[in-house]
Amino acid sequence: MSMRRSLQASAATLCLSALVAGCGQSVDGSSTIDTKNVSAASPESPGPRVLHEKWPEKVPSRGLAKGLALPLEAFMTSYADEIAVQEARDVAETACMRRYGFTDWRTEDLGVAPPVSDNASNMPRRYGLSILAEAKEYGYHVPSTGTESTPPPEQEAAGAATVLQGVDGSQKVMSFKGSALPEGGCTGEVNRKVGTLDSHVVEELSSESFLQSQQEPAVKTAMAAWSGCMKDRGYDAPTVWDTDELVGVQSQTPTDKEIAIAVADVECKQETDLIKIWFDQESAIQRQLIKKNQASLSGAQQKADKTLDVASGVTASLR
């Protein structure tokens, strides 16, 4: 992990940084980087490279979750939004660091390790595996994992940590080489200038609906039917989450056993219509939660929209 990412590990941007940093890989392990789709940083244009390939779909277009979008997704932060805010933060950080003599300062590439889902609903795998073709090839493994991008050189330069965080060890530092530092260093300046996206309201409600949905009679009946289907194929799994015990410790690459279980899992979901039944029940729960929490959701959405507007302005002014 680079110094910059390590220093940010306790900050509010950790989740976002982990999501949008890294080196992309296609499902077969080859690079997904296409330089034609890259917004490149340069000495005249501070900020990260942003790659746009293999980004998740807004709504699944294949598998048993095809076309499904839960009501709360309308309030969720998209992957593109996450990237936009992180890009603005990185642009502002780079501009700040260059003011203090780190003229080659760059940040890690963005968009190179896209997640499976466009938002926190994780619809392609919310109810477990849903795409038979992936089960046949990857078992329960996620097709594209990606790795962290190589840290840019100046991130390890002497004094960089002090300027970035405004601290030296446990001591606050107010200046660097005779120039006053922003409170909290360049990271503090970025927090004040751009801010971060806060999705805790909608994500908590999403977790609540997910847990509630599993107690619905229709879901329990469908789950029991799925379990019976699995038993007919030789697998004892009361719920879709019990397949982990059947597979055991997951190897680096899927075994024949894992693939066989994964295929049975998806085929039994198809036979019992488990995912659609589960989705319908959770959708009803979410609609009720939206009615009860409309004020909180609307307020959170307004804050997110404001942050995105600010991020767009920062990127446009400093790029």
For every residue of 33-96, DSSP letters joined together read --GGGEE--BTTB-S--EE-TTPPPSS--SSTTTT---GGGGGSPPHHHHHHHHHHHHHHHHHH
pLDDT at 105 over 70: yes
Mean of per-residue pLDDT scores for the chain? 86
pLDDT at 307 over 70: yes
**Burial of 112 (C-beta count, 10 Å sphere; 0-12/13-18/19+):** buried
95-104 pLDDT tens trace: 999 999 999 8
32-51 pLDDT tens trace: 333 334 344 455 566 788 98
- The least confident of 15-19, 133-137, 236-240, 264-268 is 15-19
What confidence score (pLDDT) does residue 46 get? 66
- Residue 10 phi/psi, 5° resolution? -100, 0
What confidence score (pLDDT) does residue 81 get? 97
Nearest to 88 by CA among 43, 50, 47: 47
Residue 308 pLDDT class (50, 70, 90 cuts): very high
Residue whose entry in the numeric block shows the structure tokens 């959170």: 300
Report the predicted TM-score, pTM, of the whole model to 2 decimal places.
Answer: 0.82
pLDDT at 230 over 90: yes
pLDDT at 20 over 70: no
Whole-angstrom distance, CA of residue 195 vs CA of residue 203: 19
pLDDT at 236 over 50: yes
Nearest to 240 by CA among 277, 213, 282, 268: 268
Whole-angstrom distance, CA of residue 229 vs CA of residue 152: 52
Question: Which tokens hold the place of 237?
Answer: 């799994």
- Average pLDDT over every residue of 148-176: 83
In percent, the amount of the chain with pLDDT more than 90 equals: 73
Identify which has the larger pLDDT, 77 or 34.
77
